[in-house]
Structure 1
């Protein structure tokens, strides 16, 4: 499966690597306040290089097990975002959940919209998936625009779906059926 794509402005969407722990810690450090309203609260050490080494190792283990596709958005040596398919289920379902974030300094340039399109292509052609789900906070209009531009359809509101920023919060649910 070919997972590397060059996107707008030379941003590269590629598989997560063990050596990304340091650049990810840097990205989280630079974008902590930007991401805080949209992310679960995590232990303080999670955002350090050591914490990211553990997180990366976990994701790479899930990749080997076939339950996750962890991708990063890189500009040179810097990480400016992530796009990850998680909870990949095979059999009759052929489904995964999509999550993503992008650095504040590159937000609004269409990079994530293009990255999600590439992830959908990989999911369909590389992984043989049929359906991708995504969830956003109802007030997260930029994320909803990314999904809409990529053909996702809303299908409901999940009450108290995820604990984000320390509170159980409702999420708008989206799906995209991947046509062959």
Structure 2
């Protein structure tokens, strides 16, 4: 099982854009990214307490994510343009055994949306999930009206598999989501 940071070297997506495993040192920059994008992300995320947008709040979240990483059930990355964090992408709920599956979640800084970074990051994670983690399947969910995220998943080879009523509590209310999956044996 891959549970050491060195098992996940940085991935260069574009000239100055990288995908790296999150670390405690990322807390201030991640808090700044969430502060910059607070209004932009609000319709797509759970309600967040004010502490979430602080360095200390992010450090607590990062510590929890790294504990799950050490347990083999999560791989949390940050997307950066140089030193500036511009998003996150995470495989969560990694299950071994006959399921060999994980859930995918991501967001991209509003200033960088529409540049292909989301698709590049998701594609890199698909390859990592198949080649380094040995997973069979990745699932993702989007709000019904999140066309941008649905385009990213489509371009990354995901297929829509269903509708989940009242699936997640987003923006303060239970909302329906479209479900997508990528079977990794078909990954290229």
User: Shorter-chain TM-score category?
Assistant: over 0.9
TM-score (norm. length: structure 1): 0.97
Counterpart Cα distance in 1 of 2:155 and 2:96? 26
Give the drift of 1:8: 2.2
Q: What's the C-alpha RMSD, in Å, of the aligned pairs?
A: 1.0
Mapping 1:5-20, distance limit 5 Å:
5-20=11-26
TM-score (norm. length: structure 2): 0.93
Q: Which runs of 5+ in 2 are unaligned?
A: 1-6
- Are positions 1:55 and 2:64 aligned together? no
- Are positions 1:69 and 2:112 aligned together? no
Runs ≥4 residues deviating over 6 A: none
Give the drift of 1:3: 4.0
2:148 to 142, 149, 155: 142
Counterpart Cα distance in 1 of 2:45 and 2:175? 11
Q: Deviations over 1:97-139 (max 9, x none)?
A: 0000000111100011001000000000010000000000010
Counterpart Cα distance in 2 of 1:39 and 1:134? 14
Paired residues of 1:3 and 1:122 also in contact (CA < 8 A): no
Q: How many residues align?
A: 180
Give the drift of 1:2: 3.8
1:161 to 156, 167, 178: 167
Match of 1:103 in 2: 109
Give the drift of 1:87: 0.3
